[in-house]
Structure 1
Amino acid sequence: MAEITEYKKPVKVGDRRVHMANERTFLAWVRTSIGIMAFGFVLERFALFIKQMSYILGESSMGKALQPSDGSSSIAGIFLVGLGALLCPLAFIRYKKVERQIDDDTYLPSPVLNMLLTLSILAVGIYLVFHLLQST
């Protein structure tokens, strides 16, 4: 009996270094998203810590009452956790898109993810500066 063997066309890999660079970029985005989520978690937990300390101490050593947090730090922390969680799947989508473009030799840089991250971090930074200025 003759065996029927199917000829499979080899996958076009192109320059492996370019694909590895794309993967390193993806992993950097994943690390960034984990870092943003960790910072948001710490910010939210610190707001909870301040609230608990204000109830425990009642008054500070300076004689004036500690003011419990108005909850805005928790909102900023939750926003950062959500931003980090959103950034990870967006990074994966970008990774797959760039991988396909590398294989097709049609790569065009897209600044959308960079702009999203930059504007989000800028907005949170401005918010935190105003929040800190209000609390002093």
Structure 2
Amino acid sequence: MKSDPPPDLDYRFTLANERTFLAWIRTSLGLLAGGVAVHTLVAHFRLPGVRSAIATVAIALAVILAIGAYLQWRKVERAMRAGERLPGNILIPVLALGVTLVSALAVIGVLSL
């Protein structure tokens, strides 16, 4: 059963949603900077393509998180205003898998030196 929307949504909830969005954006920017830094500053590994793979995965993950952060922010905002349950967040497992992949590639690259 759908509950009636609150007459005035408490601004603290919308600000918390915005802070969460900004945290995801900071994470995305960190991954973007890391991907660019790896591609630009890290010496070539003995195995060809590992450095490019690390950079590409980090940058792709940054793009996915930035888009996903906006979509999640919008879904949560709508749910709060409609008085519905908050939606789940797929970004958490995506980030965990992405960082695991970047880490595994980095280990492969470092061990190949």
* Post-superposition offset of 1:129: 1.1
Runs (5+) with no aligned partner, structure 2: 1-6
Q: Which residue of structure 2 aligns with residue 97 of structure 1?
A: 75
2:53 corresponds to which of 57, 75, 79: 75
Q: Percent of aligned pairs with the same residue?
A: 32
Structure 1 length normalisation: TM-score? 0.71
| Segments of 4+ moved more than 6 angstroms | none
CA contact (8 A) 1:44 1:75 kept: no
| Correspondence for 1:24 | 19
Q: Note if contact 1:33-1:88 (Cα within 8 Å) is conserved in structure 2.
A: yes
| Higher relative contact order (Cα pairs below 8 Å, separated by 6+ residues) | 2
TM-score norm. by structure 2 comes to 0.84
Listed one character per residue, the Cα deviations across residues 39-93 of structure 1 (whole Å, up to 9, x for unaligned) are 000001124xx35xxxxxxxxxxxxxxx866231122102211210221111000
Structure 1 vs Structure 2 CA RMSD: 2.0
Q: What residue number does 2:34 align with?
A: 39
2:84 is matched with which residue: 90, 103, 106? 106
Q: Which residue number in structure 1 is paired with residue 111 of structure 2?
A: 133
Where does residue 65 of structure 2 map in the other structure? Answer: 87
- Residues paired across the two proteins, number: 108
Helix, strand or coil at the partner of 1:33: helix
Task: Provide the rounded CA distance (Å) in 1 between the counterparts of 2:15 and 2:8.
Answer: 11
Unaligned residue ranges in structure 1 (runs of 5+): 1-11, 52-66
